Amino acid sequence: MLTLNDIHTYYGDSYILQGVSLQVNPGEVVCLLGRNGAGKTTTIRSIIGFSPPRAGKIIFNTREITRLPAHRIARAGIGLVPQGRGVFPTLTVRENLLLAARNPASFDSRSGRGWDLNAVYAQLPRLREREHHHGNELSGGEQQMLAIGRALMTNPELLLMDEPTEGLAPLIVREIARLLLELKRKKQSILLVEQSLPLALELADRIYVMSKGRIVFEGSPRALFENEDVKKQYLGF
Ligand SMILES: Nc1ncnc2c1ncn2[C@@H]1O[C@H](COP(=O)(O)OP(=O)(O)OP(=O)(O)O)[C@@H](O)[C@H]1O
Ligand SMILES: [Mg+2]
């Protein structure tokens, strides 16, 4: 479904992604792990078109999206939950969600996919309770839920999530983990950037580990769990 083939991404003269290749298959939850500054967000930005790679190819389904403008990549079916959430502070929860709504026709009764306001509220009841509050009146956890709800409202074929549990209290992390497990059960394809190894081990079908702009490990959660070298050297466990 998504293939990154040897991509090289720069910020100005800084050479950040130095040949990243990875793949997400339909219905898979793939985790991308790595320390601060490893290049995880840059990988996400490369996919979504905010920082297009200078070399290499990105293929989504059968189409090359490498240097398409971001809005066209989004419209092709890729949803983003950005690091730092980015909810609109002066709009209400409901307005934030409705502004994102897209592709209601993609409702699939078999998979149960097809997100609208009610479906999002059913999964994230806190958002319904806070429906008429503004983005800037929400707690960090609620903002994160809203960012996820907004991405779901676009009914993405592939969901990119950049550290959705960052900086949240354990109770909220569990709530978000529960939602992620539910999305996995529904066979939502997800590329999830995480710092939490336990969460990645619990959720992922496959895991990539990055360091200094390169992929240094690819394998099953079990293979990573058993690989003391990779855990120590690249993840600090
Ligand atoms: N706008 C920018 N201009 C120049 N360098 C940048 C810019 N954004 C990030 N970098 C650098 O690129 C490298 C990769 O950053 P990136 O944000 O992709 O890391 P990350 O793995 O997402 O880290 P974190 O876990 O802290 O979010 C870092 O060395 C960072 O300092
Ligand atoms: Mg990041």
**157-192 pLDDT, tens per residue?**
999 999 999 989 999 999 999 999 999 999 999 999
Tell me what pLDDT residue 144 has. Answer: 94
CA distance 24 to 31: 10
* Alpha carbon of 37 to ligand 1 centroid (Å): 5
What amino acid is encoded at 159 in this protein? Answer: L
Work out the average pLDDT over 88-109. 81
C-alpha distances in angstroms, 86 versus 69, 138, 178? 19, 12, 22
- 81-85, 197-201, 231-235: which range is least confident on average? 81-85
Mean pLDDT of the chain: 93
* Alpha carbon of 157 to ligand 2 centroid (Å): 22
Around ligand 1, the residues with Cβ closer than 6 Å are 11, 14, 16, 34, 36-42, 83
Express as a percent the part of the chain with pLDDT over 90.
Answer: 89
Tell me what pLDDT residue 53 has. Answer: 97
Structure-token pair, residue 213: 């702009």
Bridge-partner residues for 92, per DSSP?
Answer: 134
Tell me what pLDDT residue 85 has. Answer: 79
Which amino acid residue places its CA nearest to atom 16 of ligand 1? 39
* Alpha carbon of 163 to ligand 2 centroid (Å): 7
Locus of tokens 């702009």 = 213
Q: What is the pLDDT of residues 22-69, one digit of tens each?
A: 999 999 999 999 999 999 999 999 999 999 999 999 999 999 999 999
Tell me what pLDDT residue 102 has. Answer: 80
Which amino acid residue places its CA nearest to atom 18 of ligand 1? 39
Tell me what pLDDT residue 197 has. Answer: 92
CA distance 36 to 165: 15
Would you place residue 219 in the very low, low, confident or very high pLDDT band (cuts 50, 70, 90)?
Answer: very high
pTM: 0.94
Which amino acid residue places its CA nearest to atom 28 of ligand 1? 37
Q: Which residues surround ligand 2, an ion (CB under 5 A)?
A: 40-41, 83
Where do the structural domains in the chain lie, given as residue ranges? 2-235
Tell me what pLDDT residue 48 has. Answer: 97
Q: What CATH class does 2-235 carry?
A: alpha beta
Tell me what pLDDT residue 236 has. Answer: 85
CA distance 57 to 147: 28
All residues at 6 or more sequence positions from 185 whose CB lies less than 8 Å from its CB, including other chains? none
Structure-token pair, residue 128: 């319904």
In eight-state DSSP terms, residue 201 is H
Tell me what pLDDT residue 114 has. Answer: 83
